[in-house]
Chain A
């Protein structure tokens, strides 16, 4: 038998494993002895592992494109009839492939980070590579010996199984890779944090690097979660975008803790405080990211997302335990170095605001974690099955998220150290006035649900703060430089990208929040069974059954209903919700949702069933402002990009950092 791409792939995985082990050994030794030759060897090991993993990934994609059905993974997840881009995307549709993807993503990010930081963070590089490659080693052992994507079948099959019908969607091409990339990317800030601890050099250097890579990871996690919500909304067909399902919870928890870190680290950079707390947040983010990967890819918790099931559970559990024990041990051994250099001066200060933000974010993460594991605890301790579903999270997390929204408005207006009454007047009057006017308008327009009005008022407040901050900065710059307002605004943002990019992120969050609040409180849903030619009302729409059709697509039979829609303004259009029966999964029809967005209101139709007489059962949902969630998501990511955009090296280090150099003063 000639050498196939699968043989190449398995060879590349073993090669990557060897390179990663070299990276671990040389990295830790080099970090400990300071021998630069060892550090260079470790660095080259990381590059090598990356190259090998790229090779392995290419081999797997090639096996898919060649329809090599002698490879079990290829036969299980693709078929000849599938469109070619889905064949390529089937790469990460199962457990083995997505673990390979994870390892690949971490190795590429590691290589980039190591390349970028090899001069600036020379003293940390050995340990950082060591930690990164240790994580990589674990994944490569699983890939090589437990969950091998290149495992052979006794003989080649004529055709493969095809993709799980739920994955047949454009979202499949971007959501899973983005979220897995998000999980993997948390490894980089974690590695630099651990390196700083191991090297005993917990000064500003690691923080700069870690903060930057944490922001990158945060961006990927954000995009992964947003795309997941978008996918759920467009594909799963239950009219919502977030179900507080265990897999979704696992994806949002590292995001929440990472968000806390990104804010907490600002206090550390500015005031030299919260060192221990920030380290703990980085460690917790990474543990949660590993857990997220584990939950989504092991089937340990039952969920609509568990597409894969196998025996990797104990391996992941063991790995997670090692990561926790190792991290905590290293953290404890360096406790004396993590003493804060300064202390809080007042409850009304920027740093206290950040601290409260951190408490709330980790509080939401904790409540979510608790809700996810409570059914397991209940079963284990009392033998009672319990369910913790969306109503629990809405009631527990809802108020916390509302407080976070309010803090998002208050925080940026507070000065560092201590707020004076004069300052409060100067900063808060305008945003509060805007909020008052806005809330009044909401009530006048007819919003009556107190929780909704409160949440939207908080959103207005947070948005007003952002605009007020932009305006104050622009005006000050324009006055001092004589630039016109437009130019002053552009230069203001360009000069302090993390700050003003961050505000844009806040604005994106506000837009998302408005979308979530509106669609949660003002959703309407109706079920109809419509005989041919009849119609029924929902909200300001009337929907009518204009017939049932059956069509044929590449490897599927599609049944769809033509639904005529009229709204109260005399507009008319047709929607075609349907069910898709893929040939190899005829008993698992996929839903084809029909969505029409007009004036930010979605009419969301799902075909639930049909009768021999041509009658159709339709579930119709009116979802106001869901589009704002996607728009806000784009704003948010754009803000992240601005915050991340590299600044030129001419910038003067921040005043506070310059002054904290210990100056001997004679008494």
Chain B
């Protein structure tokens, strides 16, 4: 009997620990409405404490993350969500950084490739420069190799 009770208690505490971690995960994604720059998980304000309790009871009642986010967004507006929604105008927030990066990497590849077909027009100047580049490279190789 005692063993069964202990097991049951253990199970309850494991489940409870899960709820705690999930609740914290959700609270970290919500902005504390009465603070500046703190999440519900990190805020010491009483309202944030109540919100954390509400998240826990909703999790225990079986609601999922999106339902809970939806509930708070309805109540306090989308600004309560620390990561802006990926729909509507807010999607711009998510797209722009990747667009910028894609453009930059595209530019990089173009910058590296653009000089390739220049071989056709060889002037004495480019020849001289290529010669110097070759000397440069040999010296470089010498620097890398240990002296024997």
Bound complex: CA of A347 vs CA of B82, how far in Å? 39
Are B20 and A526 in touch, CB under 8 angstroms? yes
Are B97 and A591 in touch, CB under 8 angstroms? no
A475 CB contacts on chain B under 8 angstroms: 146
| Residue B61 is within 8 A (CB to CB) of chain A in the complex | no
Closest to A579 in B: B44
B100 CB contacts on chain A under 8 angstroms: 363, 366-367, 370
| Residue A203 is within 8 A (CB to CB) of chain B in the complex | no
| Residue A239 is within 8 A (CB to CB) of chain B in the complex | yes
| B77-112 to A contact mask, C-beta < 8 Å, 1/0 | 111111110000110111011101100110011011
Interface residues of B (CB under 8 A from A): 20-21, 24, 28-29, 31, 36-39, 41-44, 49, 52, 77-84, 89-90, 92-94, 96-98, 100-101, 104-105, 108-109, 111-115, 118, 124, 127-128, 131-133, 135-137, 139-140, 143-148
Are B36 and A302 in touch, CB under 8 angstroms? yes
Listed A/B pairs (20) with beta-carbon separation below 8 Å: A243-B38, A303-B36, A343-B114, A344-B113, A352-B108, A359-B104, A366-B101, A371-B93, A378-B93, A382-B89, A385-B77, A387-B31, A388-B84, A389-B39, A390-B28, A392-B93, A396-B97, A655-B136, A656-B136, A665-B128
Q: Closest CB of chain B to A280's CB: distance in Å?
A: 13
In the complex, the 8 A-B pairs of residues with the closest C-beta atoms, listed nearest first: A389-B82, A667-B124, A238-B42, A367-B97, A343-B115, A665-B128, A391-B83, A480-B147
| Residue A525 is within 8 A (CB to CB) of chain B in the complex | yes
| A373-385 to B contact mask, C-beta < 8 Å, 1/0 | 0110010011011
B43 CB contacts on chain A under 8 angstroms: 238
Are A387 and B84 in touch, CB under 8 angstroms? yes
Please report the total number of A residues contacting B with Cβ < 8 Å: 67
| Residue A400 is within 8 A (CB to CB) of chain B in the complex | yes
Residues in A652-667 with C-beta less than 8 Å from chain B: 655-656, 659-660, 663-667
| Residue A245 is within 8 A (CB to CB) of chain B in the complex | yes
Are A480 and B36 in touch, CB under 8 angstroms? no
A384 CB contacts on chain B under 8 angstroms: 78, 89-90
| Residue A417 is within 8 A (CB to CB) of chain B in the complex | yes
Q: Closest CB of chain A to B24's CB: distance in Å?
A: 6
Q: Closest CB of chain B to A379's CB: distance in Å?
A: 10
B118 CB contacts on chain A under 8 angstroms: 343
A389 CB contacts on chain B under 8 angstroms: 29, 31, 37, 39, 82-83
Among B41, B83, B137, B147, chain A packs the most CB atoms within 10 A around the CB of: B83
Bound complex: CA of A667 vs CA of B20, how far in Å? 79
Closest to A349 in B: B112
Closest to A666 in B: B124
| Residue A416 is within 8 A (CB to CB) of chain B in the complex | yes
From A359, A387, A656, contact of B101 by CB (8 A):
A359
Bound complex: CA of A477 vs CA of B145, how far in Å? 10
Are A525 and B82 in touch, CB under 8 angstroms? no
Interface residues of A (CB under 8 A from B): 237-240, 243, 245-246, 302-304, 342-344, 346-347, 352, 355-356, 359, 362-363, 366-367, 370-371, 374-375, 378, 381-382, 384-392, 395-396, 400, 415-417, 475-477, 479-480, 524-527, 591, 606, 608, 619, 655-656, 659-660, 663-667
Bound complex: CA of A561 vs CA of B17, how far in Å? 25
A619 CB contacts on chain B under 8 angstroms: 44
Bound complex: CA of A243 vs CA of B82, how far in Å? 11
Are A663 and B128 in touch, CB under 8 angstroms? yes
Closest to A397 in B: B97
Closest to A346 in B: B112
- Contacts A392-B82, A655-B143 aside, 15 further interface pairs with beta carbons under 8 A come to A304-B38, A344-B111, A346-B112, A363-B104, A371-B97, A387-B31, A387-B78, A388-B83, A396-B97, A400-B101, A480-B148, A606-B44, A659-B132, A663-B132, A667-B127
Are A387 and B82 in touch, CB under 8 angstroms? yes
Are B132 and A356 in touch, CB under 8 angstroms? no
Q: Is the interface of A mostly helix, strand, loop or mixed?
A: mixed
B78 CB contacts on chain A under 8 angstroms: 384-387
Are A665 and B79 in touch, CB under 8 angstroms? no
Question: In the complex where A384-B78, A665-B124 touch, is A378 in contact with B140 (Cβ < 8 A)?
Answer: no
From A238, A303, A396, contact of B94 by CB (8 A):
A396
Q: Closest CB of chain A to B107's CB: distance in Å?
A: 8
B108 CB contacts on chain A under 8 angstroms: 352, 355-356, 359
From B41, B80, B98, B104, contact of A362 by CB (8 A):
B104
Q: Closest CB of chain B to A550's CB: distance in Å?
A: 19
A591 CB contacts on chain B under 8 angstroms: 44
B77 CB contacts on chain A under 8 angstroms: 385
Bound complex: CA of A413 vs CA of B83, how far in Å? 38
Closest to B122 in A: A667
Q: Closest CB of chain B to A611's CB: distance in Å?
A: 14
Are B42 and A239 in touch, CB under 8 angstroms? yes
Question: In the complex where A370-B96, A391-B83 touch, is A417 in contact with B143 (Cβ < 8 A)?
Answer: no
A400 CB contacts on chain B under 8 angstroms: 101
Are A391 and B29 in touch, CB under 8 angstroms? yes
From B24, B93, B94, contact of A525 by CB (8 A):
B24
Are B104 and A416 in touch, CB under 8 angstroms? no
Are B93 and A246 in touch, CB under 8 angstroms? no
Q: Closest CB of chain A to B57's CB: distance in Å?
A: 14
Closest to A389 in B: B82
Bound complex: CA of A387 vs CA of B125, how far in Å? 57
Closest to B85 in A: A386
Q: Closest CB of chain B to A268's CB: distance in Å?
A: 14
A416 CB contacts on chain B under 8 angstroms: 140
Among B52, B84, B114, chain A packs the most CB atoms within 10 A around the CB of: B84
B96 CB contacts on chain A under 8 angstroms: 370
B44 CB contacts on chain A under 8 angstroms: 237-238, 591, 606, 608, 619
Q: Closest CB of chain B to A384's CB: distance in Å?
A: 7
Closest to B38 in A: A238
Bound complex: CA of A480 vs CA of B113, how far in Å? 39
Bound complex: CA of A287 vs CA of B148, how far in Å? 51
Bound complex: CA of A477 vs CA of B37, how far in Å? 53
Are A387 and B29 in touch, CB under 8 angstroms? no
Are B111 and A355 in touch, CB under 8 angstroms? yes
Are A363 and B131 in touch, CB under 8 angstroms? no
Are A480 and B146 in touch, CB under 8 angstroms? yes
Bound complex: CA of A638 vs CA of B112, how far in Å? 35
Are B79 and A385 in touch, CB under 8 angstroms? yes
Bound complex: CA of A606 vs CA of B41, how far in Å? 13
A238 CB contacts on chain B under 8 angstroms: 38, 42-44
Q: Closest CB of chain A to B88's CB: distance in Å?
A: 8
Question: In the complex where A302-B36, A366-B100, A665-B124 touch, is A386 in contact with B90 (Cβ < 8 A)?
Answer: yes
B42 CB contacts on chain A under 8 angstroms: 238-240, 243
Q: Closest CB of chain A to B40's CB: distance in Å?
A: 11
Are A660 and B36 in touch, CB under 8 angstroms? no
Q: Closest CB of chain B to A525's CB: distance in Å?
A: 6
From B37, B90, B112, contact of A378 by CB (8 A):
B90
Are A303 and B37 in touch, CB under 8 angstroms? yes
B89 CB contacts on chain A under 8 angstroms: 378, 381-382, 384
A303 CB contacts on chain B under 8 angstroms: 36-37
Closest to A617 in B: B49
Bound complex: CA of A592 vs CA of B136, how far in Å? 61
From A344, A417, A476, A655, contact of B146 by CB (8 A):
A476
Are A659 and B147 in touch, CB under 8 angstroms? no
